[in-house]
Structure 1
């Protein structure tokens, strides 16, 4: 079964998570500079079968698009130009960074480790993907 990949796209960094082949468990894959996202994905897609890509949709508390929504919309357009046959699923990414930070605390990471923004982005992508998998099952 093909994998599902999640992207937490940001201006500087992009966190990426992926499912196992049975689409049961989400795991962090990596964090890359956002400028390298398309080349990284081309390489990854050439090696692994991917069924769909989740891309975070930043929203404010009232459900309106956040300030970074236009940047991510530009990335989605760029992505679909490069991968026109790939299914793109937009998912609400509210609170994923806060949840990622909290999970770092809960897992006993030291303050220095919690300051690693790249790790927060990767964990955020993992949270988005695991939430999607959980909702998909029910």
Structure 2
């Protein structure tokens, strides 16, 4: 079974998944928040997901950021629609900066590097990898 991670934003949600053996985190896609429920319904018909991991936006002092209210609503709806899939929240404070850095160092063409959805998808991958690393110990 796979683990799926979300980097939730009001314009785009970055999504990453593991392979079925949960060894590798891979960027899957980005979707508009209005399309997430249809996307999940389609994806979960084809693939089994054991856990959802959601990036939790915190401020430097550890308190919830302004965008945290959107995450709360997203998690509430995830729980309601998929009650059998546990949800884990992961601190995502530095994921966008890390994602931008990884993309800049990737050797991708400048045009491709500037796609905003790419940062969200890579951020979701970093959130997922952080979760996987925390489980390894």
RMSD across aligned C-alpha pairs, in angstroms? 0.9
Instruction: Give the TM-score taking structure 1 as reference length.
Output: 0.96
Worse-superposed segment, 48-57 or 128-137: 128-137
- Matched residue, 2:117: 118
Cα displacement (A) at 1:96? 0.4
Report what 2:6 is aligned to. 7
* Residue aligning to 2:38: 39
- Unaligned 5+ segments in structure 1 are none
Alignment map for 1:93-132 (pairs within 5 Å):
93-132=92-131
**Normalized against structure 2, the TM-score is what?**
0.96
Number of positions where the alignment pairs a residue of Structure 1 with one of Structure 2? 137
Deviating more after overlay: 32-41 vs 104-113: 104-113
1:41 Cα deviation after fit: 0.6
Q: C-alpha separation between the residues in 2 aligned to 1:126 and 1:33?
A: 17
* Structure 2 CA distance for aligned equivalents of residues 21 and 30 of structure 1: 17
Deviation at 1:86, TM superposition (A): 1.1
Instruction: Give the stretch that moved more between structures: 66-75 or 111-120.
Output: 111-120
Q: Distance in 2 between matches of 1:78 and 1:54?
A: 14
How far, CA to CA, are the matches of 1:77 and 1:12 in structure 2? 19
CA shift, 1:36, in A, is: 0.6
1:76-127 C-alpha deviation (Å, 9 max, x unpaired): 1111111111110111111101100000111122332222110100000001
1:21 aligns with 20
Name segments (4+ residues, structure 1) moved above 6 Å: none
